[in-house]
Every structure is written in C-alpha cells, then in structure tokens.
Amino acid sequence: MSLQTLLDRYKNHYAAIAGQHSHDDAAALAVGGEFYTIGALEYYLLKAHGLNESTHVVDIGCGTGRLAAQLASRKHPHYSGFDIMESAVSYARDLCQMPAWKFGVTAGLKVDVPTGTGDMACFFSVFTHITHEHTFLYLKEAARLLKPGGLVIFTYLEFAVHSHWDAFAKAVNNFGKDAEPVVFLDCAGITQFANHLDFEVLALVDGDKPTFAIEEELILGPCVIMKDRGNLGQSIAILRKRVP
C-alpha cells in the first residue's frame, strides 16, 4: 500500500468519526477510544522500562495524544510526537500545552529528530496498520534517532495470542470494503528485524497477560479492572539499540 493510500484511509477514518461526535470524543475514538486508560497504561509501560525525567520520548504515530497527555500531566520535559494526520497532531499539541515539546507531521517514514538523541522510540498501535516493509523502515529510522542503548517500544498483534483473532476476523468481515487492513507480526519476524538493524530483543510479551506495574486502578472497557499490573491488549516488544 502506498503512503498516499495509507494517509487517505486515515483521513477518511478521522473525517467519518469527526462528523458524528463532539471534538473531544472524536479525538479519543480516532485512536481507538479509552483515551485516559490506554494512555496511562502506555505511560506505566515506559516507566517499567526506565522512563525518568531525563528520558527523551519519541512517540511515532502519536495520534491525538493519549501518551502525550499522560506525560504532559506529569510535566515530563523531553517529548517529540509525530503523526501522519495533521489534525491529530494539532489536537495533541493543543491538549498538552507543553511549549518546549516538539510535535510534527511526518510523511510516513522519517521523523524530524536529530540522529542519536532519543532514549525511547514508541510506536503504539501503529505497526498493526502498516506493511512489514514499512515497519522495518520505521524501525530503521528508530535505530537512527536513538542513542546507543536506547529502546524501541512497540505494540503488535499476533496469531499466537488467542484474543487477537477478533481483530483478524473483523478484517476478514470487512474484506473488499476498502477497510483499514490489519497486519500481524510474530516473534520470528521481529527477531529478524532486530538482528538486521542491530537491536537486541529484550522482551516480547503476550498482550493478554498483565505484566508491567501500574500505580492506580485502571478500568478498561466494560469489565476489565487492572490493579497492580497492567497490559495493553496488544503484545509488546522491547528492543534495545546495541552499544558499539
């Protein structure tokens, strides 16, 4: 799929939602809803992997700012967020009110972050909608912008996790209707990507298992209550850029 097709799909998706909901509801729904809970889970996941005051977080596919809002509420000093959707980026920027942060629109493969300056590059629910080649190129971009020892943290869908089947079944149902494709990854593919890009695989964690520590009770959907430990639904990959 070309980048233009991808962008057109997202524009249509955002426009369809915006036409039916209030500004804030549309901003939440456009990235999958559960704005506070998912954002908090993303934040605690980063914290579990060493996020501290000096961490420069690069959030690629930042959407309308689920993670950014969490970091802004804690006055986190170093953040750069990018998305292909200009309207999403401007919503996130307005929401966060952090003048020292950088928000930008990306054409879909590169982000405006100087080489070797990032500590954590995150892709939350981004590789679920782009091709494997595109994912690989984005990981290469992450390798460029990270400091040695920096982390890539991303979420993905995989057939090995029973609960991810629903996402695939939905895509099968919508097949032929010009719906957003759903893309699955697996441990073998991620490990290959990591080897070819000089990343170490630190963890690949099934999305349906509570794993990382959370500091508040979080309620997801109608019936999931998380205490002490959280999970994001999608599986989680943690890769580290090798130190030469």
Ligand X SMILES: C[S@@+](CC[C@H](N)C(=O)[O-])C[C@H]1O[C@@H](n2cnc3c(N)ncnc32)[C@H](O)[C@@H]1O
Residues 129-158 that bind ligand X (CB under 6 A): 129-130
Q: Any contact of residue 10 with ligand X (CB under 6 A)?
A: yes
Shortest Cβ 231–ligand X spacing (Å): 14
Residues 220, 225: Cα–Cα separation, whole Å:
6
Residue 164 sits in the site that holds ligand X (CB under 6 A): no
- Measured from the CB atom, is 42 or 119 closer to ligand X? 42
Q: Is 183 in the site for ligand X (CB under 6 A)?
A: no
Q: Is 185 a binder of ligand X (CB under 6 A)?
A: no
Task: Rank residues 68 and 239 by Cβ distance to ligand X and give the closer one.
Answer: 68
| Residue 232 is a binding residue for ligand X (CB under 6 A) | no
Question: For the residues of 51-66, what is the DSSP string, one character each?
Answer: --TT--EEEET-TTTH
Q: Which of 26, 51, 62, 120 binds ligand X (CB under 6 A)?
A: 62
Q: Per CB under 6 A, which of residues 190..209 are in contact with ligand X?
A: none
Under the binding rule (CB under 6 A), the answer on residue 238 touching ligand X is no
**Does residue 61 interact with ligand X by CB under 6 A?**
yes
Closest separation in Å from C-beta 244 to ligand X: 28
Query: Residues of 199-213 as b/e, b for ≥16 C-beta within 10 angstroms?
Result: beeeebbbbeeebbe
- Least distance to ligand X from the beta carbon of 108, Å? 4
Considering the complex, state which of residue 133 and residue 244 has its C-beta at the smaller distance from ligand X. Answer: 133
- For residues 146 and 117, what is the distance between their CA atoms, to the nearest angstrom? 6
CA separation, residue 10 to residues 31, 34, 124, 134 (Å): 10, 19, 16, 16
Q: How far is the CB of 123 from ligand X (least distance, A)?
A: 7
As a whole number of angstroms, the distance between CA 35 and CA 67 comes to 9
Residue 31 binds ligand X (CB under 6 A): yes
Query: What is the spatial distance between Cα 26 and Cα 80, in angstroms, rounded to a whole number?
Result: 23
Q: In what order do the strands lie in the sheet with 57-60?
A: 102-105, 79-83, 57-60, 118-123, 146-156, 235-241, 199-205
Tokens of 236: 């989680």
What does each C-alpha distance from 57 to 71, 110, 118, 132 come to in angstroms?
9, 16, 6, 23
Span 79-108, contacts to ligand X by CB under 6 A = 82-85, 88, 106, 108
Residues within the interface to ligand X (CB under 6 A): 6, 10, 31-32, 42, 60-63, 66, 82-85, 88, 106, 108, 124-126, 129-130
